[in-house]
A and B are shown apart, each in its own frame.
Chain A
Amino acid sequence: MNETVDTPPLALQARGLVKRYGSVTAINGADFDLRKGEVLAVIGDNGAGKSSLIKALAGAVVPDAGEIRVDGEVVHFRHTGDARARGIETVYQDLAVIPALDIASNLYLGREIRRKGFMGTVLRRLDMPAMRKEASRQLQELKIGITSVNQAVETLSGGQRQGVAVSRAAAFGNGVIIMDEPTAALGVRESGQVIELIKTIRDRGIPVVLISHDMPHVFEVADRIHVHRLGRRAAVIDPTQRSMSEVVALMTGAERPTDEEAGGGA
């Protein structure tokens, strides 16, 4: 590949992705590069196709054309389970948790642990103690102050729910964690907590894709900014080189990216 020697290797990459819904082209030849260990912000106007791009990377949408590589290896995701099997976890903006279920059950939903022996194999009984223990450990590690993993998610605040959703991703996402507008539904204080969570996850060495509208957040945590426009990548920005207003201008098309930025950044 044409990367220079000192750039870190890519965790997730896409080339020429296309997705059409009837006559609407949601992804129009989009490229995408996520380096190992970085926080990459994805920004774009409403309808720019950010969500479709992210869904393609997460396996929730199957692109019509183009290729996706995980650790340099070409993959074909048919559903979210395929992406998860490669360590790609997604936190969706509408807080994908089950309100009436407890935290531990939510964390393990879809990949429950069963007991060993007769109880597990024949009666298929869940190993709740193990799931609770591991869930507590995860929440502690991410500094989410929840006293009991037995309580129903509906008893939690919005920030705590997002914390549970992020913990679930962090618990299983050993490759990439994608967060779709994780702070959109939250207040100022809770948003700050989620931003801290993102830093904690990055410090563990797991790359994060952050889709956000919130420029101050983006500039606070992002190592690079992917600007999405008209269904494709318009530029990749180094946030130390550009101001927020310049980035917004790039996003709306009022300003043109440099050739380097348009080519995928330094």
Chain B
Amino acid sequence: MTTPTMAIKKTPKSTSTVQRARSRVLRSPLFGSTTALILAVIIFTVISPRFIAPGNISLILQQSVVIGILAVAQTLIILTAGIDLSIGAIAVMGTIVMAQVAGAHGPIVAMALTLVVCVVLGTLNGALVTLLRLPPFIVTLGTFTAIAAATRLLAGSETFQVDGALMTFLGNTVSIGSFRTTYGVIAMFVVYIVCGFALTQTAWGRHVYAVGGNPAAATLSGVKTNRTILSVYVISGIIAMIAAWAALGRIPNADPNAYQNANLETITAVVIGGTSLFGGRGGVLGTLIGTLIVGVLRNGLTLAGVDSLYQNIATGVLVIVAVAVDQFLRGRTSR
């Protein structure tokens, strides 16, 4: 009896290590975004040498903190084949609650209550998606509209100044060697590292990918699909609270009209970072690169004296180019 073996690839065994390494790099989902980031940095440095100064790099990071943190939550949700249009609105409501309560009851109560509010709103999204089986786009479109309006009702078209060391802590500067940055930037990297670890190194992370990639197979494999999806929305609430805190660190003034487009900006960062909107593919490292690309683009164009509306056009073009290039590379290498 012959025992057939399933040979792995039709490529000849003589493929050199160099070729294999090259194909692995090309196949990597981070290839396009990393290349784009490096190219953008080089181009802007050539245009304006000020761009690469440590002070300016630090500024780019500080400007990226709030969207960068929220984009982690967006990545987790998109990996489950969901989408969260309300994530920015939840964070803005977080800033209002935090500022208002801090004024009356002090920072500790304010942070605790903000965490509760953000987690409740995230859980509400998750519950509507899992229990009522409604499409995440519809659910979060609804909660986005409602939460944004509730925030304005709560604020009464006012803005709220915060003071106190804890409330603005994430805006404090810290020196790492000769590089000066803020605790907010460090907080952003911590969020990325923690979520990156959870996604790549734990069973929970595997389940997030499985639920987004093939929910039927995940269920049959014994993955608790609903619980996994719900957990992602709950975590996004926690992340929204951290983003709200970081926002007050950057500008110690809670404004109900701030971060209007945060939901779309986080989706932009996620998509540029190579995470698939269909779920199950991508990761937070790509999102970090995506966030930095947007930050670099805006900062570099500003230094080059380009109007902010043109910056928006550039960002819009970038999203489409990023996905097109990604699709092209993937289509060429993996099928």
Contacts and interface: CB of A to CB of B under 8 A. Distances in A.
Interface of A: 60, 80-81, 84, 90, 92, 94-101, 105, 109-112, 114, 123-126, 143-148, 151, 154-157, 159-160, 163, 189-190, 192-193, 196
Interface in B219-240: 220-223
Interface stretch (B48-56, B118-126, B206-214, B242-250): B206-214
Contacts of B18: none
Residue of B3, B5, B6, B222 most packed against chain A (CB within 10 A): B6
B78 to A, nearest CB: 13
B214 A97 contact: yes
A9 to B, nearest CB: 28
A111 B222 contact: yes
B218 interface: yes
Contact of B222 (A81, A105, A159): A81
B280 A109 contact: no
Contact of B216 (A96, A100, A101, A126): A96
Contact of A84 (B6, B8, B197, B222): B222
A146 B8 CA distance: 5
Contacts of A114: 203
Contacts of A60: 220
Given A97-B214, A112-B203, A146-B8, 13 more contacts: A98-B280, A99-B214, A101-B206, A101-B210, A111-B222, A123-B197, A124-B203, A125-B201, A126-B202, A146-B6, A156-B8, A193-B4, A193-B6
A100 B280 contact: yes
Interface of B: 1, 3-8, 197, 201-204, 206-207, 209-210, 213-214, 216-218, 220-223, 280-281, 334
Contact of B6 (A92, A96, A159): A159
Given A125-B201, A146-B6, A163-B6, A98 B210 contact: yes
B203 A96 contact: no
A109 B222 CA distance: 8
B216 A94 contact: yes
A31 to B, nearest CB: 25
Contacts of A148: 8
Contacts of A92: 217, 220
Nearest to A199: B1
A144 B334 CA distance: 21
A105 B209 CA distance: 11
Which among A101, A123, A125, A159 has the highest number of chain B CB atoms within 10 Å?
A101
B6 A101 contact: no
A114 B203 CA distance: 8
B15 to A, nearest CB: 12
A98 B8 contact: no
A99 B330 CA distance: 14
